[in-house]
Structure 1
C-alpha cells in the first residue's frame, strides 16, 4: 500500500521526508567562527573598569568590618537620644557628645592597631639557620662578688 492510498498516513512520502531532512541538516550551521578581534595582552596596563575599584581582600574585609561596627552603634545611640528626649533633658551638646563618643573611642583604638600592624610588618623576617658539624657547648657557673669584680670565663 502506498502513502497516497494509506488512510493512516498523511503528508510526505518516505523519500520526500528523507530529502527534506537532508536539506534541513545541510542548511543548519554545524560550526561558527567568531570574527571579533581577540583582546590584547602584553605590557599594556589594564583599563580601569566602571564601578567600584578593585580592592585587596584585606581592604574589603576592613571596609566590611567598619560598616558593620558603625551600624552596631546606631541603635544604642538612637535609644539614648530617645530616652533623653522623652525625659525632656535633651541637650544638643550632650546629644552631640553621645553621637561622637563611638568615633572618639574607635579612632585611638584603630590607630593603635594600625601602629602594631606596621610594627609587625617592619620586623625582620624570621631566619632559620641549620648547621651541620660539631658543636662545642660549655656551661660555666661563676659567682662574682665585690664592688669592682672581674670574671674571666676562660678555660
Structure 2
C-alpha cells in the first residue's frame, strides 16, 4: 500500500486551502490500489446430454495450505508413527514376558519386592524415632466464652436460602 501524500505547505493554511488539501488527501486515500477480487465459484451452463455418461468438467483448484497447518499435519504423522513404534516395542516385550516361567517372573520381581520392604522398614523406623512434643502450645491465661450470637436470615420462597452468622 502506498503511503498517503504529505501536505505541501508548512505554514498555517486558510480555510479554503485546508478544505482543498483535505479533499486531495481523502481522494488519494480511497483510491483502489488493488483490482477487485475474482469470483471463487464456477458454474457450468453447458447443457447435459440426454443419455450416456456426462463428460468431466475441469474444476481448477488452487488451494494454499498455511505453513502452520502443514507443520501440524507433519507433526501428527510423526507422533502417530512414533506411537506405532512404541506399541510394537511394548508388544515384543510383553510377548517375551508371556513366555517366561513362574520362577523367572519371581526372580525379576525380587529386587522390586526387596526395595519395597526396605522403604517400609525405613519409614517405620523414622516414624518410631520421632517423639511427641510434650510442651503445651498455650503459655498464658485462657479465657473461654460460652455465649453465642446467632443472626439468621432466610430469603426466597421456593428456592429458599438460609444464612446463619455465628459470632
- Under TM normalisation by the shorter chain, which class is it? under 0.3
Looking at both structures, which has the greater relative contact order when contacts are Cα pairs under 8 Å and sequence separation is at least 6? Answer: 2
Q: Higher strand share goes to which structure? A: 2
TM-score (norm 1): 0.23
